[in-house]
A and B are shown apart, each in its own frame.
Chain A
Amino acid sequence: MNEILISHLLPGENATITALRGGCGFQNRLRSFGITEGKKVRIVAKHPLSGPLVLEVEHRQVTIGRGMAQKIKVTREA
């Protein structure tokens, strides 16, 4: 499967998280929001002008900045 950054997905698309990048503290922070490897994620919204993304992981929604989204790798799901 092709790994891409979550920031490249479009609203409404589903994906599975494959890897997190960035520092250890940052990764822990993502994980404390439920964003970990193997989780299914849906893109709820994507704001223009490098604005934030809203992700849904296990029925819970999280807003994250675009820069953070560029550190989450995923594979696209049908």
Chain B
Amino acid sequence: MKTIVLIGDPNVGKSVLFSRLTGVDVITSNYPGTTVDYLKGRMVIHGEPVEILDAPGTYSLEAANKAEEVALSLMDRTDLIVNVVDATSLERCLLLTVELLEKRKPVIIALNMWDEAQHHGISINVPELEKLLQVPVVPTVAITGEGVKELIDRLDDLRIPDRMENSGEDQAWIRVGHIVRKVQTIAHRHHTFRDRIVDATVKPVTGIFAAIIILFSLFWLVRFIGEGFIRYGVEPLFKLYLVPLTKLSSWMEPGFIHDVLIGTLIDGKVDYLQSMGILTTGLFVPLGMVLPYIIAFYFALALLEDTGYLPRLATVVDNVFHRLGMHGHGVIPVLLGLGCNVPGVLSARGLETRKQRFIAITLVSVSVPCMAQTAMIFGVLGHSGAKFILLVFGTLLAVFIFLGLLLNRMTRGESMEIFLDIPPYRRPCMLAIVKKTWMRVRWFLAEAVPFLFLGVLAVNILNVLGVIHYVSIHVTPFMKIWFGLPGEAVPALLAGFLRKDLAVGMLVPLGLSPEQLTIAVTVLALYFPCVATFAVLFKELGVKDMLKSAAIMVSTALVAGGIMRLLLIK
């Protein structure tokens, strides 16, 4: 089977085109570095199945970060290259094109964002460009599908381009300059009022102001949507569900099966949060408490991603992140990590050096709580008062900064400076936003629900076997002295390895004081990543650095939890 790879600069729309060609749903956004791993898809071209690869963006054939390495490793495996070029910044993209043409492989160029180029008063002489490059050039608008059919039609008559005419002494960029001067004309544009507003979001003072307003409104949007779902959707549904559940419970004999499915009855009734059965707590935690906020968060994140604001945010926070051993791009792992740590850790591939990646990955898995955990923290601490919630997140923020400063000093290696393309603002397409939100929610359901069932089952089995009782007794003195928590909190810490949201829920029946609960959820957030994050840490860091990272997590939890105990519990 033939293999085609989509290759091009970051943020030119490769993934949108990939999704158009193969029908495979992929996450796309308006910032460079959305795709950090390659994706495979298939399509049939003139009756013949073809494999299509969507590569992460790369500015040149010399990899500057891990995502670019992935892209370049695909080059050797491919029969055909579709070079996706951003028509609004032709000169830049052609630099990669010229390098690709030297690879002696058939190349076709998709001149993407054709509509936007015209809108900006940029006109490109396509026949002339074809002549100069000696490969087919097809204007496309991947988002609407315009030109995609022609692109497919022309895949047939591809041949290896001849060596370029003046590939003598001239350097690639000089050659590109010649080509661009021949084919492109740009209408002069004045700096408009709109441009000035747009610029304000990357300037020091106004930019920070804008960042605070934008992030704060997103936080309220998430709360508003999440609470709305709970009040008008989830709560009534779970009330209805209680009827068959109670019947089932009274029909079943008490015993192990009852314990696993329904769990313990609290005052003779099912209690969704405390019963600990698969059909009760196992369903209520992921669907009743966490899912509404997951939907809300990913909707808000999609808005943020697709407008093109993220690179501007990265610019504004660069100063802070630079002192933590990363640069502004490090804000992206943090933001994605607030949804789920797994994509957060993966997106650290966009950082250039090993030191930066290690710091970003460690900080995300230590001190960035995922949405599932955050929803549960709000759920269990909400009625005790905002003070305690602030205390939890304030501690996590303090840990993030303090640990970052420390790791910057202690980790060997280099930290590169920020070097980031800022795409124009684009109006997000609602359909794309909804689709992206749904993809991520689906991923959450597929990942979270099975693990929650497994978690509930494991807790029940360990309980029956007496393991939990045994461990609790032996760890009680330590827990009491160090964290001011009862030994009964240990099972929650163990369950936290499977699912943090479940673990937070398990603290509720213990009757802890708000101060104890605050310490417990903070320690739970810090001490160790969940199993899914753990697996991806292993993949990204390797054994040695993963163990180092894990050791940092455990010691951070001990120190931060210990300090909180001293301050909170007299």
Interface membership of A32, Cβ < 8 A: yes
Inter-chain contact A33/B418, CB cutoff 8 Å: no
Inter-chain contact A34/B91, CB cutoff 8 Å: yes
Interface membership of B412, Cβ < 8 A: no
> A45-B207, A47-B319, A52-B328 known; A63 and B419 CB under 8 Å?
yes
> A28-B60, A51-B204 known; A33 and B417 CB under 8 Å?
no
A59 to B419, CA, bound (A): 17
Inter-chain contact A52/B62, CB cutoff 8 Å: no
Interface membership of B189, Cβ < 8 A: yes
Inter-chain contact A29/B120, CB cutoff 8 Å: no
Inter-chain contact A66/B88, CB cutoff 8 Å: no
A69 to B62, CA, bound (A): 21
Which residues of the partner chain A approach B202 to less than 8 Å between Cβ atoms? 44-45, 54, 61, 63
A10 to B319, CA, bound (A): 18
Inter-chain contact B173/A58, CB cutoff 8 Å: no
Inter-chain contact A63/B59, CB cutoff 8 Å: no
Digitize A8-51: 1 where CB-to-B-CB distance is under 8 Å, 0 elsewhere. Answer: 00010000000000000100110111101010000011111101
Interface membership of B442, Cβ < 8 A: no
> A32-B60, A61-B202, A68-B417 known; A51 and B422 CB under 8 Å?
no
Per DSSP, are chain A's interface residues mostly helix, strand or loop, or mixed? mixed
Interface residues on A, range: 20 to 34
A51 to B199, CA, bound (A): 17
Digitize B321-361: 1 where CB-to-A-CB distance is under 8 Å, 0 elsewhere. Answer: 01000011000000000000000000000000000000000
A28 to B328, CA, bound (A): 22
Inter-chain contact B59/A51, CB cutoff 8 Å: no
Inter-chain contact A49/B319, CB cutoff 8 Å: yes
Inter-chain contact B315/A58, CB cutoff 8 Å: no
Interface membership of B568, Cβ < 8 A: no
Q: Which of chain B's residues has its CB closest to A30's CB?
A: B419
Which residues of the partner chain A approach B150 to less than 8 Å between Cβ atoms? none
Interface membership of B420, Cβ < 8 A: yes
Inter-chain contact A45/B203, CB cutoff 8 Å: yes
Query: B319: which of A51, A64, A67 is its contact (CB, 8 Å)?
Result: A51
Which residues of the partner chain B approach A65 to less than 8 Å between Cβ atoms? 318, 322, 327, 416-419
A61 to B92, CA, bound (A): 12
> Smallest CB–CB gap between B113 and chain A, Å?
12
State how many residues of chain B have any CB contact under 8 Å with chain A.
38
A60 to B32, CA, bound (A): 13
Inter-chain contact B95/A60, CB cutoff 8 Å: no
Interface membership of B314, Cβ < 8 A: yes
Inter-chain contact A63/B314, CB cutoff 8 Å: yes
> A29-B419, A48-B204, A68-B417 known; A63 and B95 CB under 8 Å?
no
Inter-chain contact A59/B64, CB cutoff 8 Å: no
> A33-B59, A36-B173, A49-B319 known; A11 and B421 CB under 8 Å?
no
Interface membership of B311, Cβ < 8 A: yes
Q: Which of chain A's residues has its CB closest to B315's CB?
A: A63
Inter-chain contact B92/A33, CB cutoff 8 Å: yes
Inter-chain contact B319/A66, CB cutoff 8 Å: no
> Smallest CB–CB gap between B287 and chain A, Å?
41
Inter-chain contact A67/B203, CB cutoff 8 Å: no
- Residues of B84-127 at the interface with A, using a CB-CB cut-off of 8 Å, are 88-89, 91-92, 95-96, 120
- Residues of B133-190 at the interface with A, using a CB-CB cut-off of 8 Å, are 173, 177, 186, 189
> A32-B59, A63-B315 known; A11 and B203 CB under 8 Å?
yes
Inter-chain contact A60/B207, CB cutoff 8 Å: no
Which residues of the partner chain B approach A29 to less than 8 Å between Cβ atoms? 59-60, 64, 419
Residue among B88, B120, B199 with most chain A CB within 10 A: B199
Inter-chain contact B318/A51, CB cutoff 8 Å: yes
Instruction: List residues of B whose CB falls within 8 A of some A CB.
Output: 9, 59-60, 62, 64, 88-89, 91-92, 95-96, 120, 173, 177, 186, 189, 199, 202-204, 207, 311, 314-316, 318-319, 322, 327-328, 416-422, 424
Q: List 12 A-B contacts (CB under 8 A).
A: A25-B62, A36-B173, A47-B318, A51-B204, A52-B318, A52-B417, A58-B89, A59-B186, A61-B202, A63-B422, A64-B419, A65-B416
Q: Closest 4 CB pairs between A and B?
A: A65-B417, A32-B59, A61-B422, A45-B203
Beyond the given pairs A32-B9, A32-B95, A32-B96, 7 more chain A to chain B contacts, judged by CB atoms under 8 angstroms and listed by A's residue number, are A31-B95, A33-B59, A45-B202, A47-B319, A51-B322, A54-B422, A63-B315
